[in-house]
Amino acid sequence: MHWFRFYQIIGVFIWYRLDIFFVREEKSNLVPRLLNLLFFWRSAPQQRAIRLRLALEKLGPIFVKFGQMLSTRRDLLPPDVADELTKLQDQVPPFAFSQVEAILIQAFNAPLNTTYAAFDPVPVASASVAQVHFATLHSGEQVAVKVLRPGIAAIIHRDIALLRTIAWWVKKLSSEGRRLKPDEMVEEFARHTEHELDLTLEAAQCSQLGRNFSDKRLLVPAVYWDYSRKQVMTMQRMFGTPVRDTSALRDAGINLTQLAHDGVEIFFTQVFRDGFFHADMHPGNIQVVTEGPDKGKFIALDFGIMGSLSPTDQYYLARNFLAFFNRDYRDVAVAHIESGWVPADTNVEALETAIRAICEPIFEKPLKDISFGRTLLSLFQMSRRFGVNIQPQLIMLQKTLLNIEGMGRELDPNIDLWHSAKPFLKRWMSEQIGWRRLIKSAKHELPYVLAHAAEIPRLFEQYLRNQSEFAKQQSHIDAMLATQHKQATWQKWFISAIGILVVLQLASLFLLFAN
């Protein structure tokens, strides 16, 4: 089956003429001419990007997910290909309820009606890795139950192994393919997909995001840990309207302009306050409460893909954004170098000039017409010239930023993402490098200092004793080294004397035989 699947993939690649991505169409190149001769029956009326999308859809859900991940790598892909891959939809027919029931019985080692008081056999959502059903617990809570597809782990591992094989051949056979770094793309996809195969990881991420927004500015479903396993995740059922249904939101009396600004603030709060953000915030995963005390608040769903940023990443991102706002392109270039995103020997002036060429034209437009996300994409594409190694977490951030900007403009076409973001970033930077940061650090360290204050005299006395012992050991070592030095000197003189005697003896013997 492994080899059958491999041949099937190769057949689809040949049928859709995907060799055009890896073999240059040059008159002196015999490979494309030979391929066209061997497969004369194939035709390619559509553009190459469309053919790639159709091929991935033909190969099934795992390749669709791979294509969706590729669409975020605009630092490596041509714009036409990246744009077309964003059209891939993760729509998979649901699997049978009998299989769902078998998985739940095995997970909880109990009949289904013992675990849940009621369970809707018709799924409300179905994707390539899992599907979701509504249910009710015996305690009365309404829940949503996410169940992994049966055998999906084996399918994913098989197809990823084949993707690795294809990536290896692409690198070996094509210089153009090597530039796309196919092996790195496959490994990045493998990391993301492996996380989705363990629903306890998703449940933990959901719980973490919920704690970060305990103030309920963003509503996150509670996790029912007693009803969650590796193959099953049970969470609070959320009631809301999909964010893309703007007419229904408007009819419910929701202020779409305020909603758009709230979405921007929530995004930047996740990134810069928490360093932990929902990295799959497309409209299908976002709902809005339309009635009750939480009316007008966002609901987040599906926590399989989350991003995290280190304090260093947060600092340099904020510094870059603020430098963009202030049109300080040199500081953007310096921040790229200091952060390690570009090689240390990069020419600052050349990088500054390239950044200015991208950013300066957009400032001639009205702010509402400027795409924050598209500007970031242009910078990523420019980065190839300077050997920038875009970190995976920044790729996820770029993808999320595009989703947020698109959602914001759908809610309010006149939204100015830059205007909304600048005050937040200025306040965050002030908290990181100003007196607020000093106070915050002092508060954070004070409990530790107080807890160990009583130990300070003992630790100081131990330090002095260690220093004394070290001095004694150092003195002993110095004495040993001096002795070894003397011995080495005597050995050198002794060997020299023996050498001289041997030479003199040989000379006397030579004179004796000569006479």
Enzyme catalytic residues: 280
The structure tokens 């204050």 sit at: 453
Residue 134 sits at φ, ψ, to 5 deg, of -90, 145
Q: Write the DSSP symbol of residue 273.
A: I
The Cα 86–Cα 203 span in angstroms is: 27
- The answer to whether 193 and 65 are in contact (CB under 8 A) is yes
Tokens at 55, concatenated: 């091929």
Calculate Rg over the CA atoms of the chain: 32
Indicate the SS3 state at residue 347.
coil
- The answer to whether 298 and 266 are in contact (CB under 8 A) is yes
**Beta pairing partners, 118:** 136
Terminal alpha carbon distance of the chain: 94
- The answer to whether 333 and 347 are in contact (CB under 8 A) is no
- The answer to whether 72 and 38 are in contact (CB under 8 A) is no
**DSSP string over 430-453:** HHHHSHHHHHHHHHHHHHHHHHHG
Q: Which one, of 335, 348, 351, 426, lies nearest residue 384 by Cα?
A: 351
Q: Which amino acid is at 445?
A: E
Q: Which amino acid is at 228?
A: S
The structure tokens 């993301």 sit at: 192
What's the CA angle centered on 461, arms 455 and 467, to 5 degrees?
130
Strands 232-236 and 142-148: antiparallel
What's the CA angle centered on 233, arms 228 and 238, to 5 degrees?
120
